[in-house]
Amino acid sequence: MQEAPKSRSFIEEFIEQDLTQGKVKGAIQTRFPPEPNGYLHIGHVKALYINFTMAGRFAGKCNLRFDDTNPTKEDTEYVEAIKDDIRWLGFKWDKLVYGSDYFEKTYEIAEDFINKGLAYVDELTQAQMREYRGTLTAPGRNSPYRDRSAEESLDLFRRMRAGEFANGRMVLRAKIDMASPNVLLRDPALYRILHARHHNTGDKWCIYPMYDFAHPIQDMIEGITHSLCSLEYEIHRPLYDWVRDHCSLLEAHPRQIEFARLHMSHTVLSKRYLRALVENGYVSGWDDPRMPTLAALRRRGYSAASIHDFLARVGISKADSIVDIRLLEHCVREDLNASARRAMAVLEPLKVTLSNWPEGKTTFVSAENHPDHPEWGAREIPFGKTLYIEREDFAENPPPKFFRLAPGREVRLKSAYIIRCDEVVKNEDGEVIELICSVDLSSLSGGEGANRKVKGTLHWVEAQSAIPFEGRLYDYMFGDAEPAGEPEESADEGEESAPGAKPDFLTRFNHDSIQLIKGFLEPSLGELSPGQSFQFMRQGYFYVDPDSKPGALVFNRTVSLKDSYRP
Ligand code: ATP
Ligand code: MG
């Protein structure tokens, strides 16, 4: 067992009780059960993290199970992406399984339920079934098919499997209680007819089990001891228990425990909503760096360590709440502050010419790679007659407390010299296009004149050697903290909104959430491959995007330096 954390979550308490009371013998077993119908978002990662860390903490194991009982929306593209994401996070699954691997066993259990009078084939239409179901305040009514003989149901169920009937013509239902206050227990559907090709089983099946029937069976087959899932499954638990307790063909006795879903401000954490953003072209894909998917966060420059840190801080609670997206940013900022090499880049360049610097002369100044890691060494950066500074670091009429460059004022160029602005050059439109400055040649950083203090220090790059790059700066996809309200949660196969219908939250999309800039880098960053992170001094953490080509680097700003997160 790992070292006990300071405060334990309610899930750990439950597991501990089950172990001490002997309800679980041997090691615990959990599973992470994504449906391969989209990419993992940070909400799924919470579930993934809890299932894997609980297994790890109690010396147990966690399976990766693709919950692929719904053939129409699933795809192997998603299977591969999900595996890739989990590996990247550093989790190791025990068994890799598919819910569809168990179709035969699930079918066998369904026949057993029919034989035991626990299930029947119902021929009500969907509309009738809805009407018979009753409401939250009124009990439902028994279907006229409810008391047909087991033989008759069995015959029909076999013919359903054989493909004799059209979609929706009949369903297999559990025989529980049409008057139950929990509507989910009013004879829920266990199997439906769906003539659809499945990504794993092909055309073998035309009936598919419903989530509430399939899930406990899958858990039992795998010997899952604790089935950890998000809170919207809480009302399904009595049904989970009913299936488990009536399933005599399998021995295991898994326990379902629910935890709060992760909600995060300024984004949406629901595959359905994220798919709408992709399909309506609001973002460039599931891995657009503004998205809350793991693929997007990786591409934006988030490290696996920062995601682990985030989830550890979010913790495992039983009550729903909205996590401030700035906590996620805070975590990556802390991580990159420690690990990212420093460099200089100018995002919006303004030309500076040094009047008293000899024509054609280039020198090199030394800049440390990381202030806390002298052992990482320093790099030599060229310095010459023409430089670029950040346009916003100059003000012709500086407001109070502006300590950067202004006419007649001095600043230090980081790791180099002090310069003074003597002249402002403008174009015909009156825009500042160049500054003529004089340099104090005795003021080189680290030299004798370095003791002279000026208020501002600016980053810069030398113009001749500078490397152009494209920078992509991001803002939140939604200005609203809660753009979509509470998404309609349905733990089973919910009805999707009509295809083509645009969900309302899209109208609140922030179209200014991406800004493209053309900047310049110091030449030490010339040869980079995607996947590296840097701190561009005073500008934030930047990550080399896979869109980069030799000679055409593209950087994503992972996060700016300013941290406004208050715990
Ligand atoms: P979505 O609501 O985004 O469509 P889903 O529940 O349909 O997600 P699944 O692939 O079925 O997605 O979910 C896999 C697991 O992730 C489930 O166990 C579910 O409980 C969990 N999960 C999904 N979203 C969240 C979330 N926001 N916070 C915590 N756990 C989540
Ligand atoms: Mg689901």
Q: Is the CB of 271 under 6 A from ligand 1?
A: yes
Q: Is the CB of 140 under 6 A from ligand 1?
A: no
CA atoms of 394 and 468, how far apart (whole Å): 21
pLDDT above 80 (res 522): yes
Q: Which ligand is nearest to the CA of 50?
A: 1
Same fold, 10-259 and 268-339+467-567: no
> What pLDDT sits at residue 1?
40
pLDDT above 70 (res 488): no
Q: Are 283 and 41 in contact (CB under 8 A)?
A: no
Question: Residue range 488-513: average pLDDT?
Answer: 67
Q: Which two tokens stand for residue 123?
A: 């021929």
pLDDT above 70 (res 257): yes
CA-based torsion, 196, 201, 206, 212: positive or negative: negative
> What is the CATH number that goes with domain 10-259?
3.40.50.620
Q: Are 193 and 167 in contact (CB under 8 A)?
A: yes
Nearest residue to 483 (alpha-carbon basis) of 267, 279, 276: 267
- Which among 173, 271, 290, 298 is annotated as catalytic? 271
Cβ neighbourhood burial of 324 (10 Å; 0-12, 13-18, 19+): middle
pLDDT above 70 (res 501): no
CA atoms of 143 and 124, how far apart (whole Å): 7
Look at the chain and count its residues: 567
Nearest residue to 205 (alpha-carbon basis) of 213, 215, 197, 216: 197
CB atoms within 10 A of CB 73: 17
Query: Distance between the two ends of the chain, CA-based, in angstroms?
Result: 31
Active site residue 25: no
CA atoms of 398 and 68, how far apart (whole Å): 62
Q: Is the CB of 42 under 6 A from ligand 1?
A: no
Q: What confidence tens digit (pLDDT) does each residue in 358-405 have?
A: 999 999 999 999 999 999 999 999 999 999 999 999 999 999 999 999
CA atoms of 247 and 220, how far apart (whole Å): 9
What is the SS3 assignment for 161? helix
Q: Are 477 and 277 in contact (CB under 8 A)?
A: yes
Homologous superfamily of the 268-339+467-567 domain (CATH):
Ribosomal Protein L25; Chain P (2.40.240.10)
Ligand 2: centre distance to CA 52 (Å): 18
CB atoms within 10 A of CB 162: 10
Q: Are 229 and 256 in contact (CB under 8 A)?
A: yes
CB under 8 Å to 128, separation ≥6 — which residues?
Answer: none
CA atoms of 392 and 348, how far apart (whole Å): 8
Average pLDDT of the chain, as a whole number: 93
> What pLDDT sits at residue 485?
67
Mutate to test the pocket of ligand 1, among 45, 89, 224, 230 (most ligand atoms within 8 A of CB): 230
Active site residue 401: no
> What pLDDT sits at residue 356?
97
Q: Which two tokens stand for residue 113?
A: 């339920």
CA atoms of 64 and 86, how far apart (whole Å): 9
Q: Which two tokens stand for residue 121?
A: 């084939």
Q: Is the CB of 311 under 6 A from ligand 1?
A: no
**Bridge partners (DSSP) listed for residue 383:** 363
Q: Which ligand is nearest to the CA of 43?
A: 1
* CA atoms lying within 13 Å on the CB side of residue 271: 16
The one-character DSSP state at 547 is T
Domains of the chain, by residue range, sit at 10-259, 268-339+467-567, 345-459
CATH class of 345-459: mainly beta
Active site residue 261: yes
Question: From the alpha carbon of 41, which atom of ligand 1 is closest?
Answer: 3
Q: What confidence tens digit (pLDDT) does each residue in 24-77 have?
A: 988 999 999 999 999 999 999 999 999 999 999 999 999 999 999 888 776 788
pLDDT above 60 (res 302): yes
Ligand 2: centre distance to CA 320 (Å): 17
Q: Which two tokens stand for residue 22?
A: 């002997």
Ligand 1: centre distance to CA 69 (Å): 15
Q: What confidence tens digit (pLDDT) does each residue in 113-126 have?
A: 999 999 999 999 99
Q: What confidence tens digit (pLDDT) does each residue in 123-151 have?
A: 999 999 999 999 999 999 999 999 999 99
Ligand 2: centre distance to CA 489 (Å): 9
Nearest residue to 331 (alpha-carbon basis) of 318, 315, 350, 313: 313
